[in-house]
Amino acid sequence: MEDDAPLTRVRLSKAARQERIVAELRATPTLRVSELAEDLSVSTETIRRDLDELEARGLINRTYGGAVRGFEPEPAIAERHRLMVAERESIAAATARHVAHADALLIGGGATTTHVARRLAAERKDLVVITHSFGVATVLAANPTITVIMCPGRYNGREGCVFGAETLDYLRGFHANHAILGATGLTVDGPNDADVDAAAVYHAMVDRAAEVTIVADHTKFDRTALSIYAGWSQISRLITDAPPEGPLARALDRARVTVDIAGRR
């Protein structure tokens, strides 16, 4: 005899439920309490408590009736240089293949872009590079054929870069073959950065370059930071270490961004 009793959904533990909520916010920017309660088979009061706890831990931002993605903090540049080193070196090698001798480049600050600059210093000659990053400038200076032009501005020791109105005004005086930029995160809206001043510089670099390459490892996928500095329609190429998936992959495809997976030929 068949059992016609309805199937009951297994309830998740509190920890598993909260992990599910955070995962859902990576896929969609906003969630509502009522929808979460129905999906997870718990009361709206339980969901509200979960959201309050997740906000206290800095994982989400609460809104009236739901939650939105939390903004991603970013470690200082000195700490970032110790992370994902092999992946960044692989991305740097792949990026260098898209740069020709004697190109004019705009290179933004960051750990990954510093790896790129080091690879360019070893493999290319007669470049002209405009940058706001002392780290990028320092590693490029090892190659005497590369001309490094340093932007003026207000120095930020945490990032090893200059920012501000003087930096933006200076960048408006250049044209470049190529801009190479990092990011705090990559979402369906575009590359973003945790620092508003840095994002403004990257936005200016995007505007002054014929071609724009974003260099970022897979840990940046679906991370939300404060300031979106470009839409994907403005980006030529993403060089990363793993294939993007889901909504991010679809956004890149719609914008016809070339995705280059480092290590694959």
Q: Convert the pLDDT of each residue in 135-187 to its tens digit.
A: 999 999 999 999 999 999 999 988 899 999 999 999 999 999 999 999 999 99
- CATH 1.10.10.10 domain residues, the chain: 14-69
**Listed residue (178, 164, 176, 191) closest to 110, CA to CA:** 191
The Cα-based distances of 194 to 29, 86, 164, 231 in angstroms read: 17, 23, 15, 16
d(CA 214, CA 221): 12
d(CA 172, CA 205): 8
What is the pLDDT of the chain when averaged over all its residues?
89
pLDDT at 156 (0 to 100)? 92
Report the predicted TM-score, pTM, of the whole model to 2 decimal places.
Answer: 0.74
d(CA 103, CA 225): 31
d(CA 74, CA 61): 17
Instruction: Please tell me which residue, 54 or 102, carries the higher pLDDT value.
Output: 102
Lookup: tokens for 88? 């960044």
Lookup: tokens for 78? 């000195």
d(CA 115, CA 111): 7
Look-up of token digits 């400038």: 137
Lookup: tokens for 197? 């001043």
Beta bridge partners of 133: 161
Q: Which CATH number applies to 77-261?
A: 3.40.50.1360
Percent of the chain with pLDDT over 70: 88
Residue 2: pLDDT band with limits 50, 70, 90: very low
Give all strands (DSSP E) within 108-198, no chain letters: 128-131, 147-150, 154-156, 161-163, 176-181, 185-187, 190-193
CA 217 to chain centre: 8
Residue 261: pLDDT band with limits 50, 70, 90: very high
- CATH 3.40.50.1360 domain residues, the chain: 77-261
pLDDT higher than 50, residue 6:
no
Fold for the domain defined by 14-69:
Arc Repressor Mutant, subunit A (1.10.10)
d(CA 183, CA 228): 9
pLDDT higher than 50, residue 3:
no
d(CA 209, CA 227): 20
d(CA 29, CA 69): 6
